Each structure stands twice: as structure tokens, then as C-alpha cells.
A and B are shown apart, each in its own frame.
Chain A
Amino acid sequence: MSRENIESRNEPVAGEKLIELRVNSQVYVLRVGRGPGELDPAHTLAFTLRETLGLTGTKVSCDKGACGGCTVLREAEAVLSCMLLTIECGGKEITTIEGLKDAKTGALDPLQQSFIDHSAFQCGYCTPGMIMSSKALLTANPSPAEEEIKEALSGNFCRCISQYQVVEAVKAVSGKKG
């Protein structure tokens, strides 16, 4: 590796770049820059979802990767939106809690309905994250055992002790389609 080769590369220039963010099957084109409405390279996905796109269903609690409140799906995998840079999320399909309902009828996902039926929350702040982690699990493994449910939700914290109801809610829809 010669130094010449390395240094002849272009240095990045902010402001030239567009990021195509796909959220809940909708494409948002964000201009990278530091002006109002632009995508600052330091913006987290959680920030962009909530503050730029107005999708406030995703909750930020610790903002440190520790609580799971900000969980969204990236290509069907559960990830923490507070620990991802939006600028690195271009081209990937992101699903938030807003994207779970049926796009045509507006009907809730059976998993969401099950959370309601089981009162699987108290204050509800952890719920979007809980549901997104459960969704990732059920997509990969439609009939999980109780231990697998607990493992999949081990990165989601609930301050109100609703975990028992959450496990019941997930169990109730496992083994079914949807």
C-alpha cells in the first residue's frame, strides 16, 4: 500500500450527498448538511425518525443502547435506532411501530392487538420497542418457545414490570400467521 495511492483519494465534502431512507415502505430523500431539515452526519436514526420525519412512535429513553425503547427493524432484524447513524442507513428497509398496521385497511398487526388484549403495558413507553423486538422474533421464528421469547426480549427493559404480560401477549400470537 503506497502512501501516494492513499492520499490521492478525495476527502469527503459534506452537503453534496443525498441519503435515500426507506421507512415503512416510503422513501424519504434527505440532504446531508447542517441546515434546517437537513441530515447532519451526527444524527441518529432515532433522532431522524422522530424529529425530522415526525414518526414519534419510536421512543428514546436511555439514548445509550441500554434499554431497547428505540428498537426498530432494519431488514427484519431488531436494531437500536439510537445507536445507528442515519447517514449509514440509506438503502435499507426500516420498519417502525407505525409501519406494522395494514397499509390498506389500517388494521393493527395481530401482535399489536395481542398487546392490547393482554394489557401488556402500563405507562406504555417501552411498548413500541417490545413490539418491534417481538416482531423480529416472530418473523424469524413463528413458533418460539417461551425461553426464546425471553431471550429475544432480553434487550428491552420495562420500568413498569409488564414483562410477564408481554411474554403472554407474544405467546398468544406465536404459531399463527401475521
Chain B
Amino acid sequence: MKTFDHYDAHSLDEALGLLANRCGKARINAGGTDLLGLLKDGVLPRYPELIVNIKTIPGLGYIEEDGERLRIGALARLCELAGSKLLRERYAVLCEAAGAVAGPQIRNVATVGGNLCQDVRCWYYRYPAHLGGTMECARKGRGPCFAIKGDNRYHAILGGRKCFAVCPSDLAVAFAALGGQMTIVSPRGERKIAVGDFYSPLGNGLADDEIVKEIDVAKAFGPGRQRFLKFTVRKPIDFAIVSVAAVTEEKNGVFANARIAIGGVAPGPFRAEKAEEKLIGKKPSEALAAEAAEAAVEGARPLSKNGWKIEVAKALITRVIGS
């Protein structure tokens, strides 16, 4: 890793000030499990001059429910989410998604904020600079998206444009199904954005001087039934090929509410609204689950080598809804 200056921030204001001063040449480090990989491989078009450690900011690691909201501080660690009794009982989909991330050593340091803000894993984008030079691509602001003509077996089947990398975050999928929103702070104040709206094909919606402070989930309907399923090639080190998070509620034997998000298929978590519509008012059955799965991937436009992801997505949705 090339060198940088380093600073332990002791408050959000202090961290924001450092980011603002360096005009895009400073970068936040939370758990570092994504950032260090990016720095080692020289992936970022602008190598940071300054790393601002935010783990030294006190009071940002909470997981709590106040009245009608679940609130999670950006520094809560994934092991804490996976082990939280509150989440297990009332927000199981989050608990399961956190537990499905990487291996235990990573979950012991990785944070929620870092998980949502992590960079994509496209193998062209991430190609190490020290192995013959970085690959200048659309996402880096120069060049084409190599996935379009290249090996795109793991790339987007929905919503890709200019860049076809998929959002690698498992938590984003769970939060999208729960309707979670992020609180983002900057020298200009605070703003909120739905986790589902945070991602675009060329990157997430974070400006250089912004920090994610909290993610909250409104108790829209009861805990209902929540499930997260993730398909990977080898379990622990692999990112989701496709994942599905579903939050459903049944009343009088029919689906009264349903929210389904699919991961690994698009630049962000993909809300399968057409599948949700299919379910409402109907009795759960395997046939209905298959119908919903079909509706979920309607409009998918695979690249040359990733049509198989449509079948994986359908299988996962059928399992999540049907069982």
C-alpha cells in the first residue's frame, strides 16, 4: 500500500472537517475490510492523501429500537448485527444477511456503514494496478465497461447502464426489503435517503464530504415472516451471485403485505415490485411463488454470459416465498 497521512477522528464534526478540507483527497476508514483492498490494488482513481479513522468516534455503534423505529449506528459491527437478540426476533432478515457476509474474522471488524458504502467487485474494475496496470473503465471515468464484451458471468442483468457491476452489499438487500433509510451528514447538514435509492450504475450517492451516520427502519408492518437467502459458489469468501430478502405478512390466510429485494443482479438492491403485486391478496402456494418469481425478473436483460442468473434469482424467490 502506498503511504498516506492518518488521523483518528473523535467526533463526526472533526471527520467532516477533514474530508471538506481535503476536497476529495481524504477517505474514511471504518472496518477497512473493503478500503484496504482498494488501496492495496490501486483501484481508486484518486489515491487518498489522508485516511480518517472513524472507529474512534464514540457512540456510533448502537443497535436499538426507539418507539416506531429501529436505529443502527454506522459503526455497528456485522458480528453485532448477526448476534443481536433484537434483530433475531424482529428483523430476522438483517440478522441473517449480516451473518451471511464473508467469514467470522471479517464480520468481527466490518461495519454497517462500510458494508453499504463498499465498492463494487467487478473484476475489471478491481484489476490490480501492480499486475500490468489498472484497467481504465467507465466506472473510473475513463474508457468503456469491459464487462459488456468481456466475461460478464457475474454482472448485472437489470438496470446496468455505462457500468454493469452489481452492488455487492448483502445488508443493502435486507435494508431495501425492510424499507430502511440512511442518514447522511455533511458540512451542509443532514439528509435522508432510502437504501434502495442510494446506488446508481456508476457509484453510490455519497459526495466526497459526506458520512453515513445511521440507518433506520420504520416499523411499517409487524415483523411478519422475514427471510434472506444467498447463492454463492463457495460459501465464506464469496459475494452473493444472487441474494433475496423477503418480508411478508399474512392475514386471514392470504398475503397482506410483501416486500422483496434481490441482490447481485443490479447496481443496487432491486425491489421486485411486480412480484410483490402478484402476492397481495392471494393464498401462499408453490404455484403462486413460482408465478411471483417469474414476475420478479420480468424485464431482465442479461449480457452475453449471465442469463443463468435469471434462473438463480427465480429459484431463490420461489424458495423464499414458497417454503
Contacts and interface: CB of A to CB of B under 8 A. Distances in A.
Assign chain A's interface to a size class.
35 or more
Most buried by A among B18, B20, B50, B105: B105
A136 to B, nearest CB: 8
B105 A9 contact: no
A61 interface: no
A3 B187 CA distance: 7
A41 B105 contact: no
Given A6-B20, A79-B109, A152-B104, A12 B36 contact: no
Label chain B's interface by main secondary structure: mixed
Contact of B51 (A41, A67, A78): A41
Contacts, number: 114
B37 A154 contact: no
A94 to B, nearest CB: 13
Nearest to B185: A1
A13 B185 CA distance: 26
Interface string B72-109: 00000001000000000000000000000011111011
Contact of B13 (A5, A32, A77, A79): A5
Interface of B: 1-8, 13-14, 16-18, 20-21, 29, 31-33, 36-37, 39-40, 50-51, 53, 55, 79, 102-106, 108-109, 185, 187, 189, 235-237
Interface of A: 1, 3, 5-7, 9, 11-12, 14, 32, 34, 40-42, 44, 63-68, 71, 74, 77-80, 82-85, 87-88, 133, 136, 151-152, 154-157
Given A5-B17, A41-B6, A155-B103, 8 more contacts: A12-B50, A64-B37, A84-B32, A85-B6, A85-B51, A87-B6, A88-B8, A88-B29
